[in-house]
């Protein structure tokens, strides 16, 4: 009979996150008080999204995560990735280019979202 693999505790996972990012987002910290299984699921999802043998290096992963957090308007994730940028020593030029790309993507999204307005104006009588 096999024994199930022991999972790290919520506190061990928080310590690992602190080591990797400098601090843990407050919402994640608070979630462990009311549901310590949530952080287990969160870390499982992280390993699915960013496997140890994945194709992207850690800096690229951080920059992609930062761009997604910016585009998704997630202040806690932006703060977490800003901390991780510092921890990883990612060059300023790479971080700023990531911010610029995210800003451009959001501007492009806005133009795409406005397509019904453009359609209405093109079809409107003068």
Q: How do residues 44-77 score in pLDDT, each as one tens digit? A: 999 999 999 999 999 999 999 999 999 999 999 9
Q: How confident is the model at residue 81 (pLDDT cuts 50, 70, 90)?
A: very high
pLDDT of 122 higher than 90: yes
pLDDT at position 35 over 50: yes
Distance between CA atoms of residues 119 and 85, nearest Å? 42
Boundaries of every domain in the chain:
8-55, 56-126
Fold of 56-126: AhpD-like (1.20.1290)
Give the length of the chain: 126
**Of 76, 86, 78, which Cα lies nearest the Cα of 102?**
78
Q: Residue 72 gets which letter from DSSP?
A: T
Q: Residue 21 burial (CB < 10 Å; 0-12/13-18/19+)?
A: buried
DSSP conformational letter for 3: P
Spell out the residues 6+ positions from residue 48 whose beta carbon is closer than 8 angstroms to its own.
Answer: none
Q: In this structure, are residues 15 and 24 in contact, taking their beta carbons and an 8 Å threshold?
A: no
pLDDT on residue 124: 82
């Amino acid at each position: 009979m096999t024994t199930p693999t022991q999972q790290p505790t919520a506190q061990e996972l928080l310590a690992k996150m602190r080591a990797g990012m400098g601090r843990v987002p407050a919402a994640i910290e608070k979630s462990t008080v009311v549901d310590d299984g949530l952080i287990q699921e969160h870390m499982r999802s992280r390993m699915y999204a960013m496997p140890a043998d994945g194709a992207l290096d850690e800096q690229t992963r951080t920059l992609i995560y930062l761009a997604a957090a910016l585009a998704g308007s997630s202040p806690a994730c932006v703060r977490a990735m800003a901390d991780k940028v510092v921890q990883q020593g990612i060059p300023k030029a790479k971080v700023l280019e990531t911010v610029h790309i995210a800003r451009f993507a959001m501007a492009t999204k806005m133009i795409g979202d406005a397509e019904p307005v453009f359609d209405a104006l093109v079809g409107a009588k003068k």
